Amino acid sequence: MYEAMPPEQFKELFMAMLSYKGEDMDIKDPMVKALFAKEKVEIDRNEAEYERIRKIRQENGKKGGEAKKRANAVPEQVISQEVVEVEQPKIITEQTEKISVEPRPLKECVDELMDIYHTKNYESMIYAINHKCRKWGHTFEELKAKCDTRIELGET
């Protein structure tokens, strides 16, 4: 429809739409006036929706995201019933973290770890080293190095 309009009328309609601020416009051409009345309804609807969303966002901004947190929050009762605190395993990497207990003989430790390697896999062996090294009185690096050496040499 707009493609068939003469350029002068299209320009008048376009300029009226750009300068419209909710007040009556002084449009002389009846065709432009009719088309503008149709577009005015859409402009007013879009402006009202924009204002509604702007106010909501302004209020939420004043709360600092509190509304979003509340909307995504799970009631405390559900959290206490469903979530169990699990301590993440800590990989011991420093020689200083060796426990001052009577250490288990290194050969026995490595033999047990190699059994895990052969029955399961390398990742399981690393997991076992991480969890047992302090208990056995050795460092993670010490046990891993011995196991890696035996694997490289093909010893069981």
For 105-147, write each residue's pLDDT tens digit. Answer: 888 888 888 888 888 888 888 888 888 887 888 888 888 898 8
Residue 81 lies in a domain: no
Same domain, 62 and 109: no
Look up the domain containing 11 and give its range: 2-71
Residues 50 and 111 in one domain: no
Domain assignment of residue 106, yes or no: yes
If asked whether residues 9 and 59 sit together in one domain, one would say yes
* pLDDT band per the 50, 70, 90 thresholds, residue 77: very low
How do residues 108-119 score in pLDDT, each as one tens digit?
Answer: 888 888 888 888
Assess if residue 46 is contained within a domain. yes
* Residue 80 scores a pLDDT above 50: no
CA angle 61, 64, 66 (to 5 degrees): 110
Task: Give the chain's domain count.
Answer: 2
Could you give the 3-state DSSP secondary structure of residue 4?
helix
The first and second tokens of residue 81, run together, are: 């019933």
The type of residue at 81 is Q
Tokens of 127: 């997991």
Domain identity same for 10 and 64: yes
Cα–Cα distances (Å) from 72 to 17, 75, 104, 150, in that order, read 41, 10, 50, 52
Q: Is the pLDDT of residue 81 over 50?
A: no
pLDDT (0 to 100) of residue 152: 86
Q: Say whether both 8 and 67 belong to one domain.
A: yes
Q: Are residues 66 and 99 in the same domain?
A: no
Query: Are 6 and 63 within one domain?
Result: yes
Contacts (Cβ under 8 Å, ≥6 apart) of 124: 116, 117
Identify whether residues 6 and 56 lie together within a single domain: yes
Question: Is a pLDDT exceeding 90 seen at residue 154?
Answer: no
User: What is the model's pTM?
Assistant: 0.38
Residues in the chain: 156
User: Is 135 domain-assigned?
Assistant: yes
